[in-house]
């Protein structure tokens, strides 16, 4: 059973599982913001599907401190969010210490193994975000070809999968190969950020072809509307990833 530990330093509250390993963070004065760099990078999916009503339905696997859930709940209030979290104590801690809203018509927390939930679901989602780790930074079946195939089958025509990969623990190359196999090469991984996280994206349905200039314009609009600054992330992507014709394709 997971021990939930809460710590605070310099105005930031942290969630840990039985160790110093940080599983989530919240700046106490800005509880709806994305404090950790990798969570901001995961939310750069909003640069790839630019319809302001997207996503209409989202599945988040792994709750942590609820940062991604809270951000979407505030800035995409019409979206229906489903969160699959295996540990009930994580949900309780997120509600007590990290301002996670209670369930309502637009937010449903399900106590379930994420891989099992995907395999047994018949719902379609515009967005699936996978950020599930235990106290030893293990993903289990979430980082398997079978799970990525289940993700692809659950995505809508406008669907995107976003996965947090911890390269610091074991490298991400094998995980990216599994994503490429599951999604017919329609996958893209950002370079590792300072924390050691690699964020990977995979697409189903409608092809993505976006000019970097248009993406910068979208990033500026998002920053104005939400406070989320994705311009540095976009600059990292542009400097690292080959963008033929000045476009990101997925």
Please check whether residue 17 is in contact with residue 4, taking contact to mean a CB–CB distance below 8 angstroms: yes
d(CA 207, CA 80): 23
d(CA 14, CA 23): 7
From 131, 143, 150, 214, the catalytic residue: 131
Tokens representing 10 are 């310099």
DSSP letters of the chain?
-PPEEEEEETTEEEEEESSS-EEEEEETT-TTS--SHHHHHHGGGGGTS--TT--SEEEEE--TTSHHHHHHHHHSTTSEEEEEES-HHHHHHHHHHS-PPPPBTTEEEEES-HHHHHHH----EEEEEE----TTS--GGGGSHHHHHHHHHHEEEEEEEEEEEEHHHH-SHHHHHHHHHHTTT-EEEPPP-TTSEEEEEEE-SS--EEEHHHHHHHHHHHHHHHS---HHHHHHHHHHS--GGGEEE-
Tokens representing 56 are 């209409």
Our answer to whether residue 131 is catalytic in this structure is yes
Partners of 211 in the β-ladder: 247
List the catalytic residues. 131
């Amino acid at each position: 059973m997971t021990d939930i530990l809460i710590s605070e330093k310099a105005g930031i509250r942290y969630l840990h599982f039985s160790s110093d390993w940080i599983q989530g963070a919240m700046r106490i004065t800005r509880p709806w913001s994305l404090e950790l760099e990798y969570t901001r990078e995961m939310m750069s999916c909003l640069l790839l599907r630019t319809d302001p009503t997207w996503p209409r339905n989202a599945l988040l696997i792994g709750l942590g401190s609820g940062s991604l859930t809270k951000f979407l709940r505030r800035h995409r209030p019409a979206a229906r969010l489903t969160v699959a979290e295996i540990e009930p104590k994580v949900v309780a801690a997120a509600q007590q210490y990290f301002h996670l809203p209670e369930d309502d018509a637009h937010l449903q927390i399900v106590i379930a193994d994420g891989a099992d939930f995907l395999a047994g679901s018949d719902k379609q989602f515009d967005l699936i975000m996978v950020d599930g780790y235990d106290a030893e930074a293990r993903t289990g079946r979430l980082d398997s070809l079978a799970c990525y195939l289940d993700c692809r089958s659950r995505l809508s025509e406008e669907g995107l999968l976003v996965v947090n990969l911890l390269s610091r623990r074991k490298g991400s190359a094998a995980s990216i190969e599994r994503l490429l196999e599951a999604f017919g090469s329609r996958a893209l991984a950002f370079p590792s950020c300072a924390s050691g996280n690699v964020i990977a994206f995979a697409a189903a349905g409608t092809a993505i072809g976006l000019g970097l200039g248009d993406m910068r314009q979208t990033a500026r609009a998002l920053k104005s509307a939400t406070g989320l600054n994705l311009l540095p992330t976009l600059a990292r992507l542009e400097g690292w990833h080959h963008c033929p014709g000045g476009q990101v394709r997925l």
